[in-house]
Chains A and B, each alone.
Chain A
Amino acid sequence: MSHLTMMTSMPSAAPPAVAGMVPGARAAALRDRAGRAARRLAGRWTALVALSGAAAWTVWTVFAPSDWHEAVTFLAWGALLPVAAGVAAMLWTRLPRVRTLRAAGSSVLHASVLLLAAGVLWNRTSSFSLPLELIEGQTAALPGTPGTLRLDRYQRSLREGRWSKGDAALVTWLPGGRAAFARTVYANHPLEADGTRVYLDIHGFAPLLAVSDAATGRSFRGFVGLETALPPRVRYWKNLDEPGIPLRAHLAFRPAAQGPYPRDPRLTLIVPRADGGAPITGVLRPGETLQAGSAAVTFEGVRSWVRFTVCRDPGLGLIFTAFWVAVAGAAFALWPRVLA
């Protein structure tokens, strides 16, 4: 029988009344009550129910429809509180009686659950993950930092030593007020900038467009990033949607897939009419313009385009520390069992 089971099976006296006692005795009586409650909460069934519930919920997330996940995730976070309370109660009752390496390891393992819960909750409330799209030569603000990021060049198949490193983005990070840093971002090598990490996501080519509307006098220049990492026969469509400009277009871009830039790129535009009639279509070469009612769309050229993912996870250090504390605790708790 485990030591904890023996403790919970001992006959217990009735809890003393708290009201009307002197302060020192009252504090002792409250501690005694809390201890009894903790021992009840830290029973052997609590761990079993918590682990079984967590396993069942995890299996459910794999097979359940994705639109139910948010609701059950919310419930699961709510269940985390009593689980953490149970673990804390178990540690409170067990720590004063730790005498062996195995008991210490078990306590450390269970304490890591609290560390992990704290790290995950902290991270959920203050982390972010945002996309950042750039074409070659473009500079944009880097979310989460006071600086900016410039995409200098996109290099296909960076070679380093024996192996190809895959595609890489050569960027310059301008931290604002400090010297600029040139970095290469590729698989397993994100850019670390003031606690923010920049990852290479997807890439392709972006047709550059100039749009002007004679009726409203509005105009803008921009690009539409199209992923072209897949076989060149596949066509990639994306909507162009600029508020205030009465122009919605479907863009398709078929690269020639020769060399770093496509040879002879053709941009296919499909512009729906406001009156629901047959859409206006056109296939443009660089420099050509499509007239769509009062709007004119000029295809100015092609640039390499990259989408980065910018992340900040302040709780990550605590989460990873919890992992390794759990491993150390499990090793010390279970190794004597392996050797016995």
Chain B
Amino acid sequence: MIQAELAGLWTAVAAYAGAFVLAALGLALGRRGPLAAALAAAALAWLAQGAALACRGVAEWSPPFNTYYESVLFGTWLAVGALLWLARRPDGLRAGIAVAAPLVLLLLGSAMFTDRSLRALAPGLQSWWLVVHVCFALLAFGSMAVAAAAGALLWLPRARSFAAPRAVERVLPRAFALAFVFQLVMIASGSIWANQAWGRYWGWDPIESFSLVTLLLYGIALHLKTQFGWGGRKLAWLAAAGLLATVYGIWGVPFFQPSVHLYQGPRGPGGG
């Protein structure tokens, strides 16, 4: 199973690299053929990555949320799946693969050099709320990434020939709405689980606080859209800010501050 997982992972990495090269060529030459090939390569990578995830799940017999490596593997798989769904129509966000492919490569690369050993699920993580909380966290992050990628397309001059601004403007508020709802479910399920595990539903932990900041940012964006008529590049800036807040909450906070989410610093009750 481990060998099959490695084979799927390296196939995915190679296919993502090929997708990036093809998409960059397509954007540089202004041709749709390489872009379509890039999407096909990304689809192959997605299938290979899914197979790697399945092999790991069978070997470990636990949800893929135990380590940084597993979370990145699952999260990028969800994000690429969403992008492929959105890019299925010719006027969809096909050019977005040029942005997504290198990001996924970077994330997978960073994860592959961390601990990839099989581990039993830690006692503190043995709860059904783990699946709900992490799935919705990944869905929220994926929606934010899609919103940011769609917003970025408004700034790329070449991308406008592949993705009509109307298509991007249609995707942006939808991605904001999905991100808000998924983030809300993530916070709610996290609070219930924190109460079950640690005896408190909210503790102003840095990671908790930044998830709330992200939720409020997306709430502000939705108010600006509905009440003040914001759209286009203004929303694109907000999408980038929201993604930055989430990225800092996930990757920045652990470097600078202890967090009970990582079982560092002051420990919450539960002993897990």
Q: Is the CB of B174 within 8 A of A338?
A: yes
A63 to B102, CA, bound (A): 32
Interface centre among A164, A165, A188, A319 (most CB of B within 10 A): A188
- Tell me the count of chain B residues lying within 8 A, CB to CB, of chain A: 53
Contacts of B227 in A (CB 8 A): 2, 4-5, 44, 47-48
Q: Is the CB of A188 within 8 A of B124?
A: yes
- Interface size grouping (class) on chain A: 35 or more
Contacts of B177 in A (CB 8 A): 334-335, 337-338
A129 to B193, CA, bound (A): 17
Main secondary structure of the interface of B (DSSP, over half): helix
Known: A44-B223, A51-B223. A58 touches B216 (CB 8 A): yes
Q: Is the CB of B188 within 8 A of A323?
A: yes
Contacts of B124 in A (CB 8 A): 166, 187-188
Known: A47-B227, A187-B124, A188-B127. A166 touches B271 (CB 8 A): yes
A69 to B204, CA, bound (A): 10
A167 to B124, CA, bound (A): 10
A265 CB-CB contact with B under 8 Å: no
A318 to B96, CA, bound (A): 43
Q: Is the CB of B61 within 8 A of A309?
A: no
How many cross-chain pairs have Cβ atoms below 8 Å apart between A and B? 140
Known: A48-B223, A187-B272, A188-B127. A199 touches B199 (CB 8 A): yes
Interface digits, B102-131 against A, CB 8 Å rule (1 contact, 0 not)? 000000000000000000111110110000
In the complex, residue of chain A having the shortest beta-carbon distance to the beta carbon of B205 = A62
Contacts of B122 in A (CB 8 A): 166
Contacts of B201 in A (CB 8 A): 313, 316, 319-320
B257 CB-CB contact with A under 8 Å: yes
A299 CB-CB contact with B under 8 Å: no
Which B183-213 residues have a C-beta within 8 angstroms of A?
Answer: 184-185, 187-188, 191-193, 195-201, 204, 206, 209-210, 212-213
Known: A62-B206, A187-B197. A54 touches B216 (CB 8 A): yes
Q: Is the CB of B220 within 8 A of A51?
A: yes
Contacts of A44 in B (CB 8 A): 223, 227-228
A215 CB-CB contact with B under 8 Å: no
Which A161-218 residues have a C-beta within 8 angstroms of B?
Answer: 162-167, 186-188, 190, 197, 199-203
A55 CB-CB contact with B under 8 Å: yes
Q: Which of A251-259, A270-278, A284-292, A324-332 contacts B (4 or more CB under 8 A)?
A: A324-332
A52 CB-CB contact with B under 8 Å: yes
Q: Is the CB of A200 within 8 A of B181?
A: no
The 7 closest A-B pairs by CB, nearest first: A166-B123, A187-B272, A199-B269, A323-B188, A334-B177, A44-B227, A309-B269
Can you identify 16 A-B contacts, CB atoms within 8 angstroms?
Answer: A2-B226, A55-B216, A129-B199, A163-B123, A166-B122, A167-B123, A187-B126, A188-B126, A190-B199, A199-B270, A201-B267, A320-B188, A327-B181, A327-B184, A334-B222, A337-B173
